[in-house]
Structure 1
Amino acid sequence: MSSTLPASQRAPRATMRAGWQAYMPLWLMSAPAMLLFAALVLVPLAMTLALTFYRFDPMSGPIAAFDLHNYVEVLGSSYFHTIFLRTFCIAALTTLLCIVIGTPEAYILSRMRDPWRSLFLLVILAPLLVSVVVRAFGWSMLLNMNGLVNQFFGLFGAGPFKLEYTTFAIVIALVHVMLPFMVIPVWTALQRLDPQTENAALSLMASPFTTMRRIVLPQLMPGILSGSLMVFGLSASAFAIPGLLGGRRLKVAATAVYDQFLSSMNWPLGATIAVLLLVANLVVMLTYYRVLERRYARSMG
């Protein structure tokens, strides 16, 4: 049958068959990774989503039923509204501080020469080599009533101040943990920046501030965008630092999920908070990405 087809119809079919045979090994090589991703990510997410529709009985535990009561309870409660608002305010403030601190830090790092650049890069990455729990305990010892910070203020006759179990303590510790996730993407973007463009702008009588604003900063936006997305997502879902430095009073979404699963044993409600946190996090990050992407495209023409 195929031999009777015109040449104009046989050529596209042969091309499609050759293309499918060429891409078949890629599908086969990526199949184990896709199966692992499905087993470790997609299946647990699907099970958590299904758990949100269960009912909870204090005597018998979760009961399988298609019920939206958990969503109504979370979305209609001012208590959970406060928790989510606190979560995203802390994440936004942490992201802003990481941008303000990490962008100049990455710019200075890119202008250094070896061995100083390697040494300071190691200092920036050093927090990633220490457990988050250890870092949280370290900040707890620094910020408590008898910690080094209050002892320093005591030298000037001030304090002691209540720094531990406050939003300030959570944000400071999160900035310390998340700063490498901002510095590395911005530093990577700077590696693609041609230094001659800055020299050309300066030779055309542009001020250093104008050169930074019109030449350097627009080319850093992809690095700032990717870094801020990582910092915001990790800060909004952080558990160890808010749990250790925020205490029982300053709850965030992650600690609320922990309490529902392990303290109240209300797994359906905990799964609902986790799913809503994931959805809200995705909405905020995608909106932020779209807005900055449009501004970056407009600035680059």
Structure 2
Amino acid sequence: MASEFEDKIRNDLAKAGMLSELLARKAFEDAGWSVRGPGAYFDREVEKSREGDFYATSVRTVKDSGETCVNSEFTAVAEVKKSERPWIVFKRPLAAHDHGCAWNNLIARVNLPCSPVRLVPSLSEHSLLKVAGWEGAGIHEAFKSPDQPSKWYSAFVSSLKWAYQMRDDRPDSEEIQKDLKSNPTEFYFFQPVVVLDGRLFSAELDKDSNIQISEISSAPFRFSYESKFYEKSSFRVDLVTVAGLREYVELLENRHRSIVDGIAKEAGLDVTGD
């Protein structure tokens, strides 16, 4: 009888989306990331506290003669959504000159050893936007009644607002520093990400103007959000399925490594730590 009751609890948790969140957290934890949350952030538009699902942080350092010269934190700020209905991403190819994904992200830094522009290649490498070669131009939640609210939009806004607050809580300066032993570089990268427990598809027109549908595991977005309360109006948000999370986390780790290696190279340092 106890087992039957426990099964009811498990089913209730799964229906509420809690299993989705636990699976998403586990993908980061298994990769060695520090996972925190649920947590609260302050929504400056409505002046009230809101709850976010979780965030996961990876830390990498560079040392020289035992002294920390670079400390970098890469944080994925996640909002998890469960959907019985498929989500369809409208796919838009990127122009050859439009693959950059660097300082248009949510980043804070102090004591960089060089001009920020010199780190653009390191920041862009392993970005989901650059790897995919296309961007999402909107999402359709298939088979949804028109009078039902969209899940994807509110999830995108929630993740970027939480990430924005985290970025604003970190020190940020454009001053260049050459003596990193005395004044180490601090680098903070915040990636808003929406995790979908459900099926994800892309839609695009083929050469005959027919709709081509493909199942995918992730999609990059340059998401527009206009508000007088935020300095930025365009945000990089990634969408990934629970099934595609492990591959996505590996991509984030490769990107973080590329960023730290780029900073170290500009400072004339060897990467000797994580």
Query: Is the TM-score greater than 0.5?
Result: no
Give the strand-richer structure, 1 or 2. 2
Structure richer in helix, relative to its length:
1
**TM-score between both structures, scaled by the size of structure 1:** 0.25
- Please report the TM-score for the alignment, with normalisation by the length of structure 2: 0.27
Larger radius of gyration: 1
